[in-house]
């Protein structure tokens, strides 16, 4: 099985916390408006503004967990992982059932390449909030990395049910089906991802690998199957050209598909010559070997 391209998505002492994050002087009022403003800054990648606005909210209520979560996310995006973790730990001490805290801890664990802790954190988030679609999608991605395709399928199905227009969740669902060698279902999921996002390069890569690896695809012969793989991989290269690395495997897979086409064409030609001479037919082309996806 070739490597997969999966998708993941981020969506105590309180006096010590206040000193560490330099909260403003206490101000009476509702912390919700400042927190909502901080969330909007976060979505626009204005992290310093998100930090400032979150601190204003916490100045109104230093125990307001939603503001802590936004603040921790902003520090995460600024790669201040220890600070983000300390804030989340305080938030958890106030609200142990906050699923967003565990979702963010999963991403922080991934910065250390600690996939065991990341998987546990994402799984905990789904247990605390079974309707947290992003956490299900993140859990599916970790199961795919570990080749736990049954777990990945269940998590990805939950993610697509809760986030039906989230292309990355459909990409992960396709990879889960592909891991289970349920190729028509994988194709349907990958194509849904490209319908939702026509510029989603990784989904085209995965379609290319699907057609390269699958022993059979309904309604296609071997040459058509391999040509389809080449077309999808070229589409991936076109869309991902700005980020392709020298070791990107797309060209290797395209060459593999072309070799397979040449081999099949030669087999067909031999069979035709044998038929013309009245000789027995050659054996059918062997089943393709298994590859992998992105």
d(CA 102, CA 11): 12
d(CA 150, CA 95): 32
pTM: 0.84
pLDDT average, residue stretch 20-48: 84
* Residues 88, 105 contacting (CB under 8 angstroms): yes
What does the pLDDT look like over 39-95, one tens digit per residue?
A: 999 999 999 999 999 999 999 999 999 999 999 999 999 999 999 999 999 999 999
Among the listed ranges 17-31, 74-88, 112-126, which one has the minimum average pLDDT value? Answer: 17-31
pLDDT category at 275 given cuts 50, 70, 90 is confident
* Sign, CA torsion 211/215/217/223: positive
Superfamily of domain 1-129: Tetratricopeptide repeat domain (1.25.40.10)
d(CA 259, CA 59): 65
> How high does pLDDT run on average in the chain?
90
So what's the pLDDT on residue 187? 98
Burial 207-227 (b: 16+ CB within 10 A, else e): bbbbbbbbeebeeeebbebbb
d(CA 15, CA 186): 52
Give which of 135, 166, 141 is closest to 153, Cα–Cα.
Answer: 141
Three-state secondary structure call for residue 283: coil
Q: Which residue has the tokens 């600690």?
A: 114
The DSSP secondary-structure symbol of 23 reads P
Domain residue spans in the chain? 1-129
What does the pLDDT look like over 144-179, one tens digit per residue?
A: 999 999 999 999 999 999 999 999 999 999 999 999
What does the pLDDT look like over 134-145, one tens digit per residue?
A: 999 999 999 999
């Amino acid at each position: 099985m070739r490597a997969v391209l999966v998708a993941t998505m981020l969506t105590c002492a309180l006096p010590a916390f206040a000193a560490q994050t330099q909260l403003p002087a206490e101000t009476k009022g509702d912390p919700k408006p400042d927190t909502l403003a901080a969330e909007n800054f976060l979505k626009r990648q204005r992290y310093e503004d998100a930090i400032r606005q979150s601190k204003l909210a916490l100045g109104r209520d230093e125990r307001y967990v939603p503001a802590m979560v936004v603040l921790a996310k902003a520090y995460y995006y600024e790669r201040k992982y220890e600070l983000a973790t300390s804030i989340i730990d305080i938030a958890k001490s106030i609200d142990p059932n906050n699923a967003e805290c565990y979702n963010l801890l999963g991403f922080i664990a991934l910065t250390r390449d600690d996939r065991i802790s990341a998987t546990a954190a994402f799984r905990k988030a789904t247990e605390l909030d079974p309707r947290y679609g992003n956490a299900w999608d993140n859990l599916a991605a970790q199961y795919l990395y570990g080749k736990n395709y049954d777990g990945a399928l269940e998590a990805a199905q939950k993610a697509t049910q809760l986030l039906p227009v989230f292309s990355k969740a459909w990409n992960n669902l396709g990879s889960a089906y592909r891991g289970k060698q349920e190729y028509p279902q994988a194709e349907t999921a990958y194509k849904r991802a490209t319908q939702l996002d026509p510029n989603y390069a990784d989904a085209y890569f995965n379609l290319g690998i699907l057609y390269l690896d699958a022993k059979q695809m309904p309604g296609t012969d071997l040459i058509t199957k391999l040509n389809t793989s080449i077309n999808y991989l070229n589409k991936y290269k076109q869309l991902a050209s700005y980020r392709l690395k020298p070791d990107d495997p797309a060209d290797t897979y395209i060459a593999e598909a072309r070799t397979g086409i040449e081999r099949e064409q030669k087999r067909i030609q031999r069979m035709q010559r044998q038929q013309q001479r009245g000789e027995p037919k050659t054996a059918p082309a062997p089943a393709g070997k298994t590859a992998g996806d992105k």
